[in-house]
Amino acid sequence: MRKPIIAGNWKMYKTVSEAKDFATKLKPLVADVHDRTILVCPPLTHLQDVCDILCDSNVAVGAQNLFWEDEGAFTGEVSAPMLKSVGCTYVIIGHSERRQYFGETDGTVNKKIFAALKHNLLPIVCVGETLEQREKNETFKVIERQIKEGTKGLGTGDWEKIIIAYEPVWAIGTGKTATPEQAQEVHAYIRKLLPKDVAANIRILYGGSVKPENIKELMAKPDIDGGLVGGASLKVDSFVKLIKY
């Protein structure tokens, strides 16, 4: 059985004090939830404080990005050992906003996955088509390329640690959720692309305007194993509703 994951991607929102307040309020409200993985991914500057508050809880903390070298002259970047040193256990890799605004490619995604795994950070690897690609019927081709190129060279032991997030770009932050059927169709396709020996165990999250009102029907689909949530993860009450869908 695949344990569901509800992950909040805070993107570039919240000050440190707002983040600490959120973590402090969230912790007792979800202390009784053990049948799903709960994860928050705050901005870099907040990771230490949020990790300190949540270290003895059932809420894990992840970063939104990393660089593939351990250290060096790479101004502005942060490495896997640095993220580990503050208490992170997950990292989002290849989010469409990073692909769109910061030049991330399937090649950089691949290097980042290996860097994360080397230091025992669990990668959440994002894939997804744009509206233009969907309208041109290129969704499956794009997803196949992103999965194949992004995960090139991974062995079975590596795959066991990977989480995939299908996030159609046209559904992110737009209020336009993919229908559960549209999402399920792509999730099932992704699962077919994964190595046969691990495919049934790999968790595939859906992201793109997930909210308390639509999570139940998304989670009812057989290949949807959780949500990577942006906007609706920023308020404690709505995030708790998502966790307890």
Using the rule CB under 6 A, is 209 a contact of ligand PGA? yes
Q: Which stretch binds ligand PGA (CB under 6 A): 58-66, 134-142, 207-215, 235-243?
A: 207-215
Q: Per the residue annotation, which of 95, 104, 129, 187 is the catalytic one? A: 95
Q: 34 catalytic, yes or no?
A: no
Using the rule CB under 6 A, is 64 a contact of ligand PGA? no
Q: 104 catalytic, yes or no?
A: no
Task: Indicate the residue among 44 and 199 with the shorter CB distance to ligand PGA.
Answer: 44
Hey, what amino acid is at 141?
K
Give the integer Cα–Cα distance in Å for 217 and 104. 32
What percent of the residues of the chain are helix, what percent strand, and what percent coil, each to the nearest 5? 45, 15, 40
Could you identify the residue written with the tokens 């250290």? 71
Q: Residue 231 Cβ, how far from ligand PGA at the closest point, in Å?
A: 4
Using the rule CB under 6 A, is 228 a contact of ligand PGA? yes
| From 38, 40, 117, 172, residue interacting with ligand PGA (rule: CB under 6 A) | 172
C-beta neighbour count of 153 within 10 angstroms: 8
| From 51, 229, 242, 243, residue interacting with ligand PGA (rule: CB under 6 A) | 229
Q: Residue 181 Cβ, how far from ligand PGA at the closest point, in Å?
A: 19
Question: In the structure encoding, which two tokens stand for residue 131, read together?
Answer: 């509206």
Q: Per the residue annotation, which of 46, 97, 167, 187 is the catalytic one? A: 167
Task: Indicate the residue among 172 and 183 with the shorter CB distance to ligand PGA.
Answer: 172
CA distances from 114 to 72, 78, 80, 107, 118 (A): 17, 15, 10, 11, 6
Give the integer Cα–Cα distance in Å for 151 and 167. 17
Question: Which residues, other chains included, contact 223 with Cβ-Cβ below 8 Å and sequence gap of 6+?
Answer: 184, 187, 188, 190, 191, 204
Using the rule CB under 6 A, is 41 a contact of ligand PGA? no
Which residues have a catalytic role annotated? 95, 167
- Residues of this chain that interact with ligand PGA (CB under 6 A) are 9, 167, 172-173, 207-210, 228-232
